[in-house]
Structure 1
Amino acid sequence: MTVGSIAVRYAKALLTFVDETGKAEEVYREALKLKDTWMAVSALQTAMNNPLLAPAKKSALIEEALGGKITAEFRRFVRLVLHERRENMLLFMLTSYIGLYRKQKNINVGSLITATPASPAVIERIRKMVTDQTKGTAEFTAKVDPNIWGGFIFQLGTYRLDASLAHQIQLVRKQFVEKNRSIR
């Protein structure tokens, strides 16, 4: 079996289990937090992939990565993964669970990149527009990147709207070069 199919099986089982117990949202938040921590802290990745480290220590590391607060359902899932010696696939399982949960709850993920910080009113207006258009909820991050010089870049799923000044200048430059090449 491939890593992807194993991860999806575990993720589906976790989603079914937490749906029955009514803890799907809490486990979703824990999965997001653990995934972010896993990606940010390379020592956690190394420890989880260390075959000499006892499963109890690995479980304690995961609880510590989540701030010591963990639902019983997520703790049970982690223990199952560790018992089955699948901890090297835990990140893939978390990613699969997050994707399945978002699909089930119709959560759209996106990002807004601006040259200067966007006001909370603008962010809320964009969130409302996305919610109205997609008939679901919107989860997106607002980032500041001074390299775009002005305007914004909005991405939602596979849709990308690049209205940045840097992109507009790049388009004008490209058109100018193409026009001047045809003059020769």
Structure 2
Amino acid sequence: MVNVSIARRYARALLDVSSEVGRIDAVAEQLTAFADILAKNPELADVLHNPAYSRAQRSQVVEGVMKLVPGLEPVLANTLRLLVDRNRLVYAHDIARLFRDMADARAGRVRGNVTSAAALPADTLAQLRQTLQQLTQRDVILETRVDPSLLGGVSAQVGSVLYDGSLRTQLDQMRRELK
């Protein structure tokens, strides 16, 4: 099990430092991009997490990966170097997730997922986003997914609240009531 308190500590420190320079959103995007690079390349992750490789070798690999992220913020580059020095790079994905969540909370944003049976038109998605903003009293950032098993309707999860207006759920509810 990953120790979340370690990741939270680094995420909070990075948030404080990046807020001082006013680059929270840029750091969040770049940190997520870096964590995605590690997640998509198991060989790279093995090199960075395997104790058989020296700290200098891991540091060179991280420097190479940092060159892949365009315009890398100096605050983030220093943090990544610190993570390599302290053998904490294994927490990069958790740090990125927690950093994004803390940055969203500080900015008054909340993330949500919208699942529909078919792709939603842009105007419908905008109207749904506006409605969710009114319900939550926060800025809502939506990610969309298509799930044909819903049959129809929309299911939206914002934070820990699920708004389920899918046809599949309504049919399941009718089935339970008829039994």
Normalised by the length of structure 2, the TM-score is: 0.86
Aligned pair in 2 of structure 1 residues 63, 95: CA closer, same or farther (>3 Å)? farther
- The reply on whether 1:4 has 2:8 as its aligned counterpart is no
Determine if contact 1:113/1:152 at 8 Å carries over to the other structure. yes
Instruction: Tell me how far 1:116 sits from its aligned partner.
Output: 1.1
Determine if contact 2:58/2:84 at 8 Å carries over to the other structure. no
Aligned pair in 2 of structure 1 residues 6, 161: CA closer, same or farther (>3 Å)? same
Which amino acid is 1:22 matched to?
G
Equivalent position to 1:84, from 64, 71, 86: 86
**What is aligned with 2:60?**
56
**What is aligned with 1:27?**
27
Determine if contact 2:48/2:58 at 8 Å carries over to the other structure. no
Q: What secondary structure is seen at the aligned counterpart in 2 of 1:118?
A: coil
Aligned pair in 2 of structure 1 residues 129, 32: CA closer, same or farther (>3 Å)? farther
**What is aligned with 2:104?**
102
Instruction: Tell me how far 1:46 sits from its aligned partner.
Output: 2.6
- The reply on whether 1:17 has 2:21 as its aligned counterpart is no
Equivalent position to 1:152, from 143, 151, 154: 154
**What is aligned with 1:133?**
135
Gaps of at least 5 residues in structure 1 are 178-184
> Over aligned residues, Cα RMSD in angstroms?
2.0
Q: What secondary structure is seen at the aligned counterpart in 1 of 2:176?
A: helix
Determine if contact 1:35/1:95 at 8 Å carries over to the other structure. no
Normalised by the length of structure 1, the TM-score is: 0.84
* CA offset digits 1:100-140 (Å, max 9, x no partner): 11111111111111111101001111222223333321111
* Identity level (%): 20
Q: What secondary structure is seen at the aligned counterpart in 2 of 1:152?
A: strand
Instruction: Tell me how far 1:84 sits from its aligned partner.
Output: 1.5
* CA offset digits 1:4-27 (Å, max 9, x no partner): 222111111101111111111100
Q: What secondary structure is seen at the aligned counterpart in 2 of 1:60?
A: helix
- Cα distance in 1 for residues equivalent to 2:156 and 2:100: 22
Could you list the runs of 4 or more consecutive aligned residues of structure 1 that deviate by over 6 angstroms after TM superposition? none
Q: What secondary structure is seen at the aligned counterpart in 2 of 1:116?
A: coil
- Cα distance in 1 for residues equivalent to 2:167 and 2:42: 36
Q: Which moved more, 1:30-39 or 1:17-26?
A: 30-39
Aligned pair in 2 of structure 1 residues 165, 132: CA closer, same or farther (>3 Å)? closer
Instruction: Tell me how far 1:62 sits from its aligned partner.
Output: 4.5
* CA offset digits 1:15-46 (Å, max 9, x no partner): 11111111111001112333444444434433
Q: What secondary structure is seen at the aligned counterpart in 1 of 2:96?
A: helix
Determine if contact 1:111/1:140 at 8 Å carries over to the other structure. yes
- Cα distance in 1 for residues equivalent to 2:3 and 2:63: 21
